[in-house]
Structure 1
Amino acid sequence: MLSAGSTALLTDMYELTMVQAALKAGTAERRSVFEVFTRRLPGGRRFGVVAGTGRLLEAVAAFRFGPAELDYLARAGVVDEPTLEFLRDYRFTGDITGYPEGECFFPGSPVLTVEGTFAEAVVLETVILSILNHDSAVAAAASRMTIAAHGRPCLEMGARRTHEEAAVAAARAAVVGGFTGTSALEAGRRYGLRTIGTAAHSFTLLHDDEEAAFAAQVAALGPGTTLLVDTYDVTAGVPRAVAAARAAGGELGAVRLDSGDLVAQAFTVRAQLDDLGATSTRITVTSDLDEYAIAALGAAPVDAYGVGTKLVTGSGHPTAELVYKLVAREGPAGQMVPVAKASAAKASLGGRKVAGRVLDGAGRATEELVVASADPGPGLAALAEAGARPLQVPLVRGGEAVLDDGGAAAVAAAADRHRAARAELPYDAWRLSEGEPGIPTRHLDLDGGGRPR
């Protein structure tokens, strides 16, 4: 059993064996800079979305080895006794800088920068990547879906299609990406998200007939509820739903369609509702929607979309393809030395980096400028000279979080930030088809050591 709240074993074994070897070699305390970035956007997507920052900060704070974790590591023989002693007192005391939650990113964007000793920074790789890769993938899918929805609300309904904890994280990430509510109550409780939901087909099947089911739901939830009208026959279900609400003294809030040809049904149901005088009754559609299905429904009289499986699995791309790489470390004279992986397929750029987004006179993004600079000062000056909007903010200083990035206000702020960042991008970045990133990334090396080597 884990110590209460500990995230320390949400990691890969090699992170701890590297610490053991570094302790023996005397290199564990070398100052190091790790960077989270992606070499490419998954599936030919045009932009990525940073999500999970609030969860990441909580996970780093809880990354402590208690008696339960140390006992397991000792029994399993994962590391030796000196390493266990090091882990016993472990806490991250370094700095973390990153793109704020909701910001867009592109290949090469330094989404997160972790600075500390090698031993204290290397062990965070897995927990950081597992959070950012999952949440950013869901947020990117959510963003694409809300683009396709053209302002119509999108609702997250995927809790039954993924791991129970992943469902909570996915609901949060979906709201960062533009969704307006979730069916997951734990996500509502934990993050202050708006929760939504009424009834499933089983509720209708429970009753002797559809009229009885609708009457029971309206009696309990009021005429403003949403009635599911496709358990039996949609054409017959619509007037029964309207009648049930009117019998309770009001107009029906909405009907939900969950099967069949949703485009054709939406037109038919809208005509039925209007003929019945239920012009204020809305139409919500569900049933395995993704961004392409939502786009296909764009001309149909639909008022809201409920999305489940495709959203919580990243709409076919369940990872943002982010990696965590050492880009600089302390040299023998105490100076910081850029380092980079040189293998052909996975080359990286060494050196600590600062980043900004270059905008044209109309406020439209034209490129991502990434500057390798051991001292951030000259790098920031280079961004200013290029007229770039700085992208990184401090998240952790001296091991302490400098902002609360996990609550309801922070999630709402991240959603607002994403809308603004996405609005800066050129039209091509909004396209759902596969293609090049919405803007190019340009690298500028002020130190001469940032090239692959």
Structure 2
Amino acid sequence: MQATTALLTDHYELTMLQGAFTHGTAHRRSVFEVFARQLPGGRRYGVVAGTGRLLDAIEAFRFDDEALAHLSDTHVVDDTTLNWLGDYEFSGDIWGYAEGEPYFPHSPILVVEASFADAVLLETITLSVMNHDSAVAAAASRMIVAAAGRPCIEMGSRRTHEQAAVAAARAAYIAGFNSTSNLRAGQLYGLPTHGTSAHAFTLLHDTERDAFTAQVDTLGKGTTLLVDTYDVAEAVALGVEVAGTDLGAVRLDSGDLLVQAHEVRAQLDALGATKTRIVVTSDLDEHAIGALAAAPVDGYGVGTSLVTGSGAPTAGLVYKLVARENDNKIMVPVEKRSADKSGVGGRKRAARRYNRHGVADAEVIAINGEVTGADHRPLLVPLIRDGEIVGREPLDTARERHHQRRSELPRTALQMSRGEPALPTYYEEQP
């Protein structure tokens, strides 16, 4: 088990807990839901990611002696609450959209049912994990669509927090990225890792020939040479001279990539290196990748835009109480009613509706009941039952799921322009 995650939370989660204990409401059965009121930036769909990491974080959500001492020394909560926290272990139920599943506004992508005390403590860690990972996965999915089958490598470690970089690599892989430059992500999640050299390696050597020779001698002719440290045309010619026509690839990291890609492809072909691939980097996002669709590019390396959600660094997910027991032990719906942040009360169940061609055409959410119909696919799967994790799965399963479920969306979902969500959301209220 990883180190405790219990203090990766907000102060007010614990003061709410203490207040609920004081007034005898802490053990009321409650239902919290995670959803987004809207998709960021006029996007057509979101992507659920972070579920596996969240399950690990919940498993490690224990208040050890050091955490309890800190809470005591800083007077965050009283002794009664501290004693309860010392024995805390989530004992409720959690359902969620399976990792890799697309989602839409108001999709209940996570449903937590437990006592208020049990469930409220998980709010911050849940949103921290899922807002980050879902934002990265959504950006990555758009990039994969724009790449149209050309491989993408995640290489954003130097553009974000060191732990966020690992999570971002995982989320990008779910959405379809082929590999990552991050070795820790490779170790933790079994992701393929790749990397060759930076401009510093070329600048280290007395000549570009010396640098290329050193790299080819070390990594073989199949390596990727970075050819824009000085003059691109000279470097391409030199790279083929050093490695031969079996040179694996050249990488372009600056300048007008569209023009350069055509020029370099023509030069490589003229030199007989017809199988040498062209990889481009340099602050790419889904729009830049899409603009290179007609260029002779064989792969993309994406960094900053990917790990920052390509302009949407959070998925906008919220964790809201939607139902709870009253004094008669009856579950009643509750909802926030503020003008621009209203919610829909009641315990939800969700399904995706399909037309006769197998294309999704709606997200259907039942309140206080089940969605029925042969053309509906239920979306919520069990993740934790009575405190026991039951929803772990291999990362490749989430990756394959995302590829399949994205292919079931209408064609409008794959547009890069701002627009309405690809699927409308309908509510079905049960008696």
- TM class by smaller structure: over 0.9
> Matches of 2:7 and 2:200 in 1, distance apart?
41
Aligned partner (choices 111, 114, 117) of residue 112 of structure 2: 114
TM superposition shift of 1:385: 2.2
Secondary structure of the residue aligned to 2:149 is coil
Answering whether residue 395 of structure 2 is matched by residue 411 of structure 1, we say: yes
Secondary structure of the residue aligned to 2:12 is helix
Matched residue, 2:324:
329
Aligned partner (choices 298, 306, 327) of residue 293 of structure 2: 298
Matched length: 431
Answering whether residue 425 of structure 2 is matched by residue 429 of structure 1, we say: no
> Matches of 1:252 and 1:330 in 2, distance apart?
67
Matched residue, 2:16:
18
Matched residue, 1:201:
199
Deviation per CA, 1:130-174: give whole Å up to 9, x if none. Answer: 000000000000000011000100110000000000000000000
Matched residue, 1:342:
337
Matched residue, 2:230:
232
- Which region of structure 1 is more displaced relative to structure 2, 237-246 or 195-204? 237-246
Query: What letter corresponds to residue 420 of structure 2 in structure 1?
Result: E
TM superposition shift of 1:396: 0.5
Secondary structure of the residue aligned to 2:91 is coil
Q: Matches of residues 9-48 of structure 1 in structure 2 within 5 Å?
A: 9-48=7-46
Matched residue, 1:155:
153
Matched residue, 1:177:
175
Aligned partner (choices 353, 362, 365) of residue 357 of structure 2: 362
TM superposition shift of 1:243: 1.3
TM superposition shift of 1:4: 6.3
> Matches of 2:43 and 2:2 in 1, distance apart?
39
Q: Matches of residues 301-320 of structure 1 in structure 2 within 5 Å?
A: 301-320=296-315
Deviation per CA, 1:363-414: give whole Å up to 9, x if none. Answer: 01110000011xxxx41xxx33262111110000111110323xxxx22111
Distance 1:386 1:342, change over 3 A: farther
> Matches of 1:241 and 1:362 in 2, distance apart?
50
> Matches of 1:441 and 1:367 in 2, distance apart?
6
CA contact (8 A) 2:2 2:60 kept: no
What percentage of aligned pairs have identical amino acids?
Answer: 62
Matched residue, 1:450:
none
Matched residue, 1:5:
3
TM-score w.r.t. the length of structure 2 is 0.99
> Matches of 2:2 and 2:410 in 1, distance apart?
47
TM superposition shift of 1:331: 1.6
Matched residue, 1:394:
382
Matched residue, 1:451:
none
Mark the runs of 5 or more structure 2 residues left unpaired by the alignment.
none
TM superposition shift of 1:240: 0.7
Secondary structure of the residue aligned to 2:275 is coil
Secondary structure of the residue aligned to 1:444 is strand
> Matches of 2:19 and 2:90 in 1, distance apart?
19
TM-score w.r.t. the length of structure 1 is 0.94
> Matches of 2:132 and 2:2 in 1, distance apart?
23
> Matches of 2:67 and 2:420 in 1, distance apart?
45
Mark the runs of 5 or more structure 1 residues left unpaired by the alignment.
448-453
Query: What letter corresponds to residue 124 of structure 1 in structure 2?
Result: L
Query: What letter corresponds to residue 314 of structure 1 in structure 2?
Result: G
Structure 1 residue ranges (4+ consecutive) displaced by more than 6 angstroms after TM superposition: none
Query: What letter corresponds to residue 237 of structure 1 in structure 2?
Result: A
> Matches of 1:8 and 1:147 in 2, distance apart?
38
